[in-house]
Amino acid sequence: MTSGNREPRNIVLGVSGGIACYKAVELVRLLVRDGFTVQVIMTREALEFVTPLTFQTISGRSVATETFSLTQESEIGHINLADQADLLVIAPATANIIGKIATGIADDLLTTVIMATRAQVLIAPSMNVHMYENPILQGNISKLKGLGYHFMEPVEGYLACGYEGRGRLPEPQDIVEEIHGLVKKKDLVGERLLITAGPNREPLDPIRYIGNRSSGKMGYALARIGVRRGAEVTLISGPTSLRPPQGVRLISVLTAAEMRQAVLKEFSAATAVLMAAAVADYHPEKLLPKKIKRGRDPIQLRLKPNPDILREVGMRKNGQILIGFAAETEALVANAKKKLHEKNLDLIVANNVTEEGSGFDVDTNVATILDRKGGVHSLPLMSKEELADRIYDYLLALKNSTSS
């Protein structure tokens, strides 16, 4: 099975001299966390803002600064730096460095490496709003875009120079997402994924609701990885504290009834449906118009069952691949197998929520994937993003086996 996880992992990060240099430190931290090797190159001006020691400590590699340093050249070498990069990122990129790249100037280590590399280049400008709007800079950006350089637009907001406007470096997390998108294999292009995530809230009175412990992390990881691999993603989400992944179409819902309505509306346009939501199985029979007052006597709640959304989709499916999730506390494989057949699914991802590193509100999962042919694939502990990759690998394998 091919893993969508085996992706280019070597980033060369060029840091030029802008106040947003401090954000580049966080960018390196996040990239290292995600398993990238990051080689930092700093321009002379960048050295005025942050010391190389900071980048060296975070990246775990010595920082390259000088073209003509004998030790650096023998240890890292500018052509070597250019060749080893799977992706060259310049963040923050000043007007000066963009001007130099656009006119072919290679007068320091970073510009020399940019000139010599055959890797993709991502440039994240950051500067004063008037500098950014200057037609000379805009002309340089257009020229470079025409040559295939990738750009991230600066964002609007307060600028260190005291101005408000477009010029801020995008948040490091967003730059990381862009990087993942550029290095990732785009093997889900053409897929329209419908993903559900998070819990439901079933209101009891104007103040209270019945909910569950789902954080939404698995569904959001599926959405994020789906976008990275080139799919169009619609995410139907119950209430979570998570930031919606870039590039997804988000539909926010509260109750299971709202989720059902949204899924039934969207599912015919989808090529695959992944139901990672912890759909509420019951809702209070009556929604009380006023707050239930505290009293001394026990009170009783009558709950009515909610429709099983996935089962309904399973009955109506028309070519879509259906993937369900089973959170179990016992007899994992047997229960999951039963759901796979009862709900007419193509795959089911089962996890024992009592196991360490698996289940609610953690970033990892220990899952077993079951298919209709009786295949039972037990996976080791991995991040929810890695698991999302594995699920898509199985989805693609399933598509290939049915089309061949």
Q: Which two tokens stand for residue 86?
A: 């799977």
Q: Which of residues 299-358 bind ligand C5P (CB under 6 A)?
A: 306, 308-310, 324-326, 339
Of the two residues 7 and 308, which places its CB atom closer to ligand C5P in the complex? 308
Q: Is 164 left (phi over 0), alpha (psi -120 to 50) or beta?
A: beta
Tokens 């730059």 map to which residue?
175
- Residue from 281, 358, 397, 399 binding ligand C5P (CB under 6 A): 281
CB of 391 to ligand C5P, least distance (A): 12
Residue 275 lies near ligand C5P (rule: CB under 6 A): yes
Residue 197 lies near ligand C5P (rule: CB under 6 A): no
Residue pair 166/156 in contact by the 8 Å Cβ criterion: yes
Is 21 an annotated catalytic residue? no
Burial class (CB in 10 A: 0-12, 13-18, 19+), 281: middle
CB of 308 to ligand C5P, least distance (A): 4
Of the two residues 184 and 339, which places its CB atom closer to ligand C5P in the complex? 339
The one-letter amino acid at 356: E
Of the two residues 51 and 354, which places its CB atom closer to ligand C5P in the complex? 354
Residue 200 lies near ligand C5P (rule: CB under 6 A): no
The one-letter amino acid at 8: P
Q: Which of residues 99-118 bind ligand C5P (CB under 6 A)?
A: none
Residue pair 282/305 in contact by the 8 Å Cβ criterion: yes
Catalytic residue among 161, 250, 288, 334: 161
Q: Are strands 202-203 and 209-210 parallel, antiparallel or unpaired?
A: antiparallel
Alpha-carbon gap, residue 396 to 241, rounded angstroms? 30
Residue 258 lies near ligand C5P (rule: CB under 6 A): no
CA distances from 133 to 39, 126, 129 (A): 31, 11, 6
Nearest to 211 by CA among 158, 279, 288, 270: 279
Residue 391 lies near ligand C5P (rule: CB under 6 A): no
Q: How many residues bind ligand C5P (CB under 6 A)?
A: 13
Alpha-carbon gap, residue 59 to 194, rounded angstroms? 37
CB of 247 to ligand C5P, least distance (A): 23
Of the two residues 14 and 219, which places its CB atom closer to ligand C5P in the complex? 219
Q: Which two tokens stand for residue 219?
A: 């569904």
Specify the stretch interacting with ligand C5P by CB under 6 A; choose among 52-60, 101-109, 204-212, 277-285.
277-285
Residue 387 lies near ligand C5P (rule: CB under 6 A): no
Alpha-carbon gap, residue 117 to 162, rounded angstroms? 36
Of the two residues 78 and 339, which places its CB atom closer to ligand C5P in the complex? 339
Q: Which two tokens stand for residue 169?
A: 């470096």
CB of 377 to ligand C5P, least distance (A): 17
Alpha-carbon gap, residue 14 to 116, rounded angstroms? 14
Alpha-carbon gap, residue 403 to 335, rounded angstroms? 29
CB of 218 to ligand C5P, least distance (A): 10
Gyration radius (Cα) of the chain, Å? 25
Residue pair 130/124 in contact by the 8 Å Cβ criterion: no
Q: Which of residues 291-310 bind ligand C5P (CB under 6 A)?
A: 306, 308-310
Of the two residues 182 and 349, which places its CB atom closer to ligand C5P in the complex? 349
Of the two residues 80 and 344, which places its CB atom closer to ligand C5P in the complex? 344
At residue 244, the 3 state secondary structure works out as coil
- For residues 213 to 252, the per-residue mask of contacts with ligand C5P, x marking binding by CB under 6 A and - elsewhere, is ----------------------------------------
Residue 195 lies near ligand C5P (rule: CB under 6 A): no
The site for ligand C5P (CB under 6 A) is made up of: 256, 275, 277, 279, 281, 306, 308-310, 324-326, 339
Active-site residues, by number, are 161
